[in-house]
């Protein structure tokens, strides 16, 4: 069902955990959330992905692979620079895709290029391939990366998310409630159901 206007899924295309949530958030929620691109490195909380190092990161990678298998998604492939990926251009592209009503289709395709094919999100070819999957013209997509209006929209969306309480990606907001990570997805789903019931009562 269509979402109440205050249910949103916040993501950064450099975040593998955002990818895993993106692969099943459409089924997990009783409503279709608005997909909102944000810049993870401008959010107030430390990134759970980039903070890990050494043995802790190795354990994290094994856990991610287990979670991916449980979701039935393709085997994770790691872009060479992960977890220190530069997603700036990718998030501008996602912001443009959102402006033309193709946020979900573009972002899913981009996530799969990055974490199922192991492509660098900073590579323009990665974005063009993802755009082609949802019929976004490559020239229009690449031009959007240069526009101040696109950068301003992304920056404002990130600031708004931070003000709401989004600390990291992935996150889901339902009204003023914010739920972080895959572990809190069931709680987000329950909150969305309650919001839907309230909306139905008028």
Question: Mutual orientation of helices 103-115 and 124-133 as an angle, nearest 10°?
Answer: 130
pTM: 0.92
- In this prediction, residues 57-85 reach a mean pLDDT of 89
How much is the pLDDT for 1? 46
Instruction: Please give the domain boundaries of the chain with CATH numbers for all domains.
Output: 7-201 (3.40.30.10)
- As given in the structure block, the two tokens for residue 153 are 């929209």
**How far apart are the C-alpha atoms of 93 and 114, rounded to whole Å?**
14
* 126-165 tens-digit pLDDT: 999 999 999 999 999 999 999 999 999 999 999 999 999 9
Cα–Cα dist 172/166, whole Å: 8
- pLDDT attached to residue 32: 86
Q: What is the mean pLDDT of the segment spanning 44-57?
A: 74
């Amino acid at each position: 069902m269509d979402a109440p206007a205050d249910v949103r899924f916040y993501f950064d295309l450099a975040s593998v955990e955002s990818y895993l949530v993106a692969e099943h958030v459409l089924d997990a929620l009783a409503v279709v959330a608005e997909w909102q691109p944000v810049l993870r490195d401008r959010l107030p909380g430390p990134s759970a992905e980039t903070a890990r190092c050494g043995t802790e990161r190795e354990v994290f990678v094994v856990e991610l692979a287990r979670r991916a298998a449980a979701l039935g998604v393709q085997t994770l492939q790691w872009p060479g620079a992960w977890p220190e990926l530069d997603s700036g251009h990718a998030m501008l592209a996602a912001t443009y895709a959102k402006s033309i009503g193709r946020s979900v289709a573009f972002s899913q395709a981009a996530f799969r290029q990055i974490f199922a094919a192991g492509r660098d999100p900073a590579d323009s070819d990665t974005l063009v391939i993802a755009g082609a999957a949802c019929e976004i013209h490559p020239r229009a997509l690449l031009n959007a990366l240069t526009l101040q209006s696109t950068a301003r929209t992304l920056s404002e969306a990130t600031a708004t998310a931070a003000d709401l309480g989004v600390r990291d990606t992935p996150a889901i907001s339902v009204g003023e409630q914010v739920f972080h990570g895959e572990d809190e997805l069931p709680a987000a789903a329950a909150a969305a159901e309650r919001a839907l019931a309230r909306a139905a009562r008028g």
